[in-house]
Amino acid sequence: MALIVAAVIAVAFLLADRRETLQEQAYGVTRQTVDTVARPVSGAIAAPGRWTGLGLDYVRSYFFTAHENRRLKAELAEMRQWRDRALALQDQNDRFKSLMGLRTDPPIPMAAARVVSDSRGPFANTRLADAGAERGILVGNPVLNERGLVGRVVGVSRGVSRVLLLTDIASRTPVMIDRTNARAILTGDGGPNPKLEYLRGVDPIQQGDRVVTSGDGGVVPRGLPVGAAVKGLDGRWRVVLFADQASIDYVRILLFKDFAQLADEKQLQARSLPPVTTEDPQTSILSAPKPVAPIPSPSAQAPKPPAPAARAPAAATPPQTGAPR
Q: Output the pLDDT for position 240.
A: 96
CA-angle at 147, arms to 141 and 151, nearest 5°: 30
Mean pLDDT estimate for the chain:
77
Coil vs helix vs strand at 208 = coil
Give the rounded distance of the alpha carbon of 204 from its chain centre: 27
pLDDT tens by residue, 159-189: 999 999 999 999 999 999 999 999 999 999 9
Q: Output the pLDDT for position 322.
A: 44
229 phi/psi in degrees, rounded to 5: -80, 135
Q: At residue 324, does pLDDT exceed 50?
A: no
Break the chain into its structural domains and give their ranges.
11-101, 110-261
Stated as kind and residue range, the H or E segment containing 239 is: strand 237-241
* Percent above pLDDT 70 for the chain: 62
Alpha-carbon distances, residue 174 vs 117, 160, 219, 222, 295 (angstroms): 27, 26, 8, 10, 80
Kindly provide the b/e burial profile for residues 27-61, where b requires at least 16 CB atoms within 10 angstroms of the residue's own CB. eeeeeeeeeeeeeeeeeeeeeeeeeeeeeeeeeee
Higher-scoring residue by pLDDT: 222, 100: 222
pTM over 0.75: no
- In order, the DSSP letters of 97-161 are HHHHT---SS---EEEEEEEEEEE-SS-EEEEES--GGGT--TT-EEE-SSSEEEEEEEEETTEE
Average pLDDT over residues 195-214: 92
The class level of CATH for 110-261 reads: mainly beta
Q: What is the 3-state secondary structure (H, E, C) of 279-323?
A: CCCCCCCCCCCCCCCCCCCCCCCCCCCCCCCCCCCCCCCCCCCCC
Q: At residue 22, does pLDDT exceed 60?
A: no
